[in-house]
Structure 1
Amino acid sequence: MRNDFLINTKSACILSDKVVMATAKGTWIHQPTLVGGGDRTASKISNADRMANTKKLLDRAIASAWHTVNTDRRPPKLTPIRWVWRLAGAYHSSRYTSQLMEEATKHFAASGRQSLAEWATQKAREEAGHDRLALLDIQSMGYNAEAVVQALTPSAATAFVEYFTQTVRGTNPIDCLGFFYAGERLGTFQGEEYIQSVEALLPPGTHATRWLRIHSGVGAEVKHVEEIVKVVTYLTLQELTSIVKACYETALLRFTPPKEGYISDEELQNVLKPLKLNTSLRV
């Protein structure tokens, strides 16, 4: 990531109309005269500038998470069998999205937050069926997809869904905007070149990047990021702070290596070998 994408953040509070984010590595203060709703001087700033500064604030929260994790541990080299593992994670990460966003819609509507309810409704609709895309990709890799996702549940996907659920079912589901921003913003960095590099690793005739394409920079992620920024820009300072914190915490989950270590290709092979399909069943 670029250096200007970095800040230090850990927890958030409001202090004299400032967003204060602090870690053991230092404290960062942002006075959002260009972002957020209310009667502040931001009303004299152009909408484009206000949204640009909102996006910058959220981006810096993501970069701060990267800086905080600061680990030399990297995932093992991608192989066809490890791609199946990642697709299993994609399935579990997508499985409850629409359901949870329908819950968020009801909460926003009940509290009179119509614009947030509309955003959540649209998100529930857009994310519907993405878990099925992951299953189709796994099947295209030559495996019984339903059996694979029953056998493989990456801990990172479990932690991701648990945090997502927490943001929706907490006191105020507004934190889910920060959750989505982090995930979708990171998706924008995966472009056509990366997708083609994955496809080059897979057996000829395999169509196993449907889920990836939808959640990449060549899919709808850029548009989704812009939509979130538009909504967040006009929220209150307290809401903005909460969303930035959720964005940071979501990025931490994405960047932190699993405590139990990465599963080996040998272990994956042992799990997946009995789940192989007849090649004629690939899609």
Structure 2
Amino acid sequence: MRNDLLINTESACFVPDETAIKTANYTQRHRPTSAKGGDRSVSKMSDAERIAQTQKLLDRAIAYAWHTVKSDRRPPKLTPIRWVWRLAGAYHSSRHTSRLMEEAAQRFAASGRQSLADWAAQKAREEAGHDQLALLDIQSMGYEAEAVVQALIPSAATAVVDYFTQSVQAINPIGCVGHSYASERLGTFQGEEYIQSVEALLPQGTHATRWLRIHSGVGAEVNHVEETVEIVAEMASEECMRVARACYETALLRFTPPKEGYISDEELQNVLKPLKLNTYLVAEN
């Protein structure tokens, strides 16, 4: 899987890419049926091309979201206290995933779409407990984790979860596939170098990148992305476009700066200071 999604956003364009869709759809419906070895090879090549075209469509949707935002506003420089803020966002983004994917699985199964039901059920299992990883990371940073996530609820995380919920509860919950793809595809761009840069900012002996590692290019995200592309590649053209649209809308939420502005380190300090664990308070006194 190539990781060049956001290199050339200036040329990215999210339009109903009929060429990509029709190519994928045509290949899906016109596979050679002969048992000859050469024909089997052609069939495999056709599957690979169909999957590549599908990923290209979904990645273009994400890239166009980046292009659409075109904001000069950037998040403040990462600091240890701001990492706690991000972990709070990770917690809120993760804690509903298994429940919503279980609901999606039930809805897909009820409409006779067993492959999608199996995909969603697997997602529910894979994502179970990831919110607890974020809590452990916050605790490792020296704070009362449960109190922190009650006090810090990033609006960006809330917006993404609301969109996810609406996708699952729509008449056709196919949008949750696009939401999942966009979220996990963006995670693949955070590799070992980025993780180490975060760890270098944190106090020595702190283990606060559990959640990040799981949701990065060194975790399971690459395999998850590939599995989702394979599922989407089997869909009809109209549903492929619905998934692509959900990719775009999810990425748009992820890329758009908060309307209320970024919380300052000073504000974070005021919120978090009373939430330090006693052991850290003792160590400081």
Q: Distance in 1 between matches of 2:154 and 2:84?
A: 11
Aligned residue for 2:23? Answer: 34
Q: Secondary structure at the match of 1:147?
A: helix
CA contact (8 A) 2:183 2:250 kept: yes
C-alpha RMSD of matched pairs (Å): 1.9
Q: Secondary structure at the match of 1:33?
A: helix
After superposition, residues 69-88 of structure 1 pair within 5 angstroms as 69-88=69-88
Letter of the 1:109 counterpart:
A
CA spacing shift, 1:39–1:241, aligned 2, 3 Å: same
After superposition, residues 227-266 of structure 1 pair within 5 angstroms as 227-266=227-266
CA contact (8 A) 2:10 2:67 kept: no
CA spacing shift, 1:4–1:52, aligned 2, 3 Å: farther
Q: Which has the higher strand share?
A: 1
Identical counterparts, % of pairs: 72
Q: Distance in 2 between matches of 1:140 and 1:77?
A: 21
Structure 2 length-normalised TM? 0.89
Q: Distance in 2 between matches of 1:5 and 1:202?
A: 35
Letter of the 1:173 counterpart:
P
CA contact (8 A) 2:91 2:149 kept: yes
Q: Distance in 2 between matches of 1:6 and 1:52?
A: 19
CA contact (8 A) 1:36 1:42 kept: no
After superposition, residues 61-100 of structure 1 pair within 5 angstroms as 61-100=61-100
Aligned residue for 2:8? Answer: 3
CA contact (8 A) 1:6 1:63 kept: no
Aligned residue for 1:226? Answer: 226
Which string of whole-angstrom CA distances, capped at 9 and with x for unpartnered residues, describes residues 74-109 of structure 1?
000000000000000000000100000110011111
Gaps of 5+ in 2: 1-5, 33-42
Is the aligned partner of 1:215 residue 2:204? no
- 1:7 is displaced (CA, Å) by 2.5
Q: Distance in 1 between matches of 2:93 and 2:238?
A: 28
Gaps of 5+ in 1: 10-19, 22-27
State the number of aligned residues.
265
Q: Distance in 2 between matches of 1:60 and 1:252?
A: 13
CA contact (8 A) 2:232 2:240 kept: yes
Letter of the 1:200 counterpart:
A
- 1:33 is displaced (CA, Å) by 2.9
Aligned residue for 2:142? Answer: 142
Q: Which has the higher helix share?
A: 2
Aligned residue for 1:183? Answer: 183
Letter of the 1:134 counterpart:
A
Aligned residue for 2:53? Answer: 53
Larger-gyration structure (1/2): 2
CA contact (8 A) 1:168 1:176 kept: yes
Letter of the 1:199 counterpart:
E
Q: Distance in 2 between matches of 1:37 and 1:202?
A: 52
CA contact (8 A) 2:27 2:50 kept: no
Structure 1 length-normalised TM? 0.89
